[in-house]
Amino acid sequence: MGLDHIAAYGGVIVAKMIFDKQMIDAAKNLKIISTYGVGFDHVDTEYAKEKGIVVSNCPESVLRPTAELALTMILASARRLRYHDHTLREGVFLNADEYDNQGYSIEGKTLGILGMGRIGQQVARFAKALGMKIIYHNRHQLDEKLEAELDAKYVDFADLIKNADFLSLLLL
């Protein structure tokens, strides 16, 4: 498949697709390349700059969906969703009256967040709303006002690992 189809466009939005020198040269009318998400590592930004093409990103577009997915995984883990799905698919019907088959609530549990950037902060907001305790480790401690808003406590890495019931890795 040739690249002729891209020549007419003045702007493109790319996700994980490699947008290299060859693509840029084929897009003769290109004025802007925007990435869906935070990073630019799949775009030849230096060459685009040489050609006078603006490269931008949309970091907000992935913030909430990523935080929601992290929360979903925490809830699925607490309620042993994968285990129940697997046993049911194997034809095993678990006794829901048995305590071990019920999973447990996340309320009162401690969420450890490694990487308290924008996504980590959103996960903390969700977790706080569900009654979780929040500890975090980050390159830099958040300011006191934000820590108070999130009800989050800065701890060193060893304490994070030791004291978290759930651990969310949100490093970029």
pLDDT digits (tens, 9 = 90+) for 41-90: 889 999 999 999 999 988 777 889 999 999 999 999 998 888 888 888 99
* Cβ neighbours of 52 (radius 10 Å): 8
Residue 163 belongs to what domain range?
Answer: 62-169
Q: For residues 13 and 144, which has the higher predicted lDDT (pLDDT)?
A: 144
Residue 1 lies in a domain: no
User: pLDDT (tens digit, 9 = 90+) per residue, 111-159?
Assistant: 999 999 999 999 999 999 999 999 999 999 999 999 999 999 999 999 9
Q: Please check whether residues 165 and 127 belong to one and the same domain.
A: yes
Tell me the mean pLDDT in the region 100-112. 90
pTM above 0.75, yes or no: no
- Mean pLDDT value across residues 99-113: 89
Phi-psi region of 34 (alpha: psi -120 to 50; beta: other; left: phi over 0): beta
Which of 21, 36, 56 is a domain's end point? 56
CB 115 within 8 A of CB 171: yes
Rounded distance, CA 151 to CA 160, Å? 15
